[in-house]
Amino acid sequence: MVPLLFFQLNGTHMDTPFVELLVCTSCRGEQAHDDATERPGTTLMQRLQAAMPEAIRITPVACFSNCSQGCTIALRGSGRWTYVYGRLNAESDIAPLIEGAVKYAATPDGIVPWRERPEHFRKNCIARIPPIEGFSS
């Protein structure tokens, strides 16, 4: 049995399982990057940590093996499909990432209806992985 967390999103209490957003901090982004400066993946993680609702945990990872496709994140949660997204920009994609993560957290299985997903999520999904607890497709 998965323990449930009670948390608040946009002023509404929800009875929702744990949700986590993993961010690759090693990503160099889609532009050439000088290793003397902070990597765009690290910048992306820091900006998400500052802005994401507390109920969604931000976790750094070293690499998703998606290195040639910009900054990369994954959304996962108990009983949910896991989604991997790439080509993220640490400057311009914070708002759509928060929107997408909040919508993901508001579903019971992680599947946000296609038309309700942020445009970046619709166009840059690298992979989706079924929940370990079993699923119906």
Compute CA distances 109 → 44, 71, 76, 80, whole Å. Answer: 26, 25, 10, 4
Q: Which is nearer to ligand FES, 41 or 100 (CB)?
A: 41
Return all residues near 37 (Cβ < 8 A) that are at least 6 apart.
none
Strands 19-24, 56-61: parallel, antiparallel or unpaired by DSSP? Answer: parallel
Contacts of 43 (CB under 8 A, 6+ apart): 90
> Using the rule CB under 6 A, which residue among 16, 42, 43, 66 binds ligand FES?
66
Which CB sits closer to ligand FES, 18 or 85? 85
- Name the minimum Å distance from CB 86 to ligand FES: 8
Least spacing, CB of residue 34 vs ligand FES, in Å: 15
CB of 30 to ligand FES, least distance (A): 12
Exactly one of 7, 26, 46, 55 binds ligand FES (CB under 6 A); which one? 26
